[in-house]
Amino acid sequence: MAFELPELGYAYDALEPNIDARTMEIHHSKHHNGYTNKLNAAIEGTDLEGKSIEDILTNLDMTNAGVRNNGGGFYNHSLFWTVMKPEDRGYLSGELKDAIEAEFGSKEAFIDAFSKAAATQFGSGWAWLCVHKGGKVEVCSTPNQDNPLMPGVACGGTPILGLDVWEHAYYLNYQNRRPDYIDAFFKVINWNEVERRYAEAK
């Protein structure tokens, strides 16, 4: 079965003023939709057809640019929309809070590490919070549409929080002020979803 563009679960303007409606509309309906269609075209008629996106990416031939770029783009954005929410976001707590404090010392130190990974990713890419089996967490960044599920990519583990730092994710509202966009992202994180992903992945 072909992959389908997932619904956002909220209106394009729901994250304003932190992320503007026009950016969300273009990002979801054009960029993510484009990755979805190109992924389907790349796997059509191959042995990848019918497999889950996680299975495709964890066993990826990294020289297969069509699947690497578009499969990554499909997966990354599918995660991205769910880790943001306009309301009822919860807050960092429970086992995830304990794991973050064990690794980084404090929530504030984690925010600094994640923000640095996002701000210093050269060109286009993503910042990630990943979890390894057993519950240890790690922050890293990846270029383009690569992600920690892919073979040989920095971090490894399962991504549970991701921030898109391609310019199309923020340029209409923030222009070249990527740090302002990163700060805004922390105001809309759906911690309930991040904690759910942590519990599932560890």
DSSP letters for 47-65: TTTTS-HHHHHHT--TT-H
Detail the residues annotated as belonging to a binding site. Answer: 27, 77, 164, 168
Kindly state the percentage of the chain with pLDDT values over 90. 97
How far are the Cα atoms of 4, 38, 59 from residue 1, in angstroms, in the given order? 9, 14, 19
What does the pLDDT look like over 95-147, one tens digit per residue? Answer: 999 999 999 999 999 999 999 999 999 999 999 999 999 999 999 999 999 99
How far are the Cα atoms of 37, 68, 182 from residue 127, in angstroms, in the given order? 24, 17, 10
Domains of the chain: 20-202 (3.55.40.20)
Q: Where are the alpha helices (DSSP H) in the chain?
A: 21-26, 33-43, 53-58, 65-82, 94-104, 107-120, 171-174, 178-185, 191-201
Kindly state the percentage of the chain with pLDDT values over 70. 100
**Range of lowest pLDDT (1-5, 27-31, 44-48, 85-89):** 1-5
What are the beta bridge partners of residue 84?
189
Q: The pTM is what?
A: 0.96
pLDDT higher than 90, residue 1: no
Detail the residues annotated as belonging to a binding site for Mn(2+). Answer: 27, 77, 164, 168
What does the pLDDT look like over 67-108, one tens digit per residue? Answer: 999 999 999 999 999 999 999 999 999 999 999 999 999 999
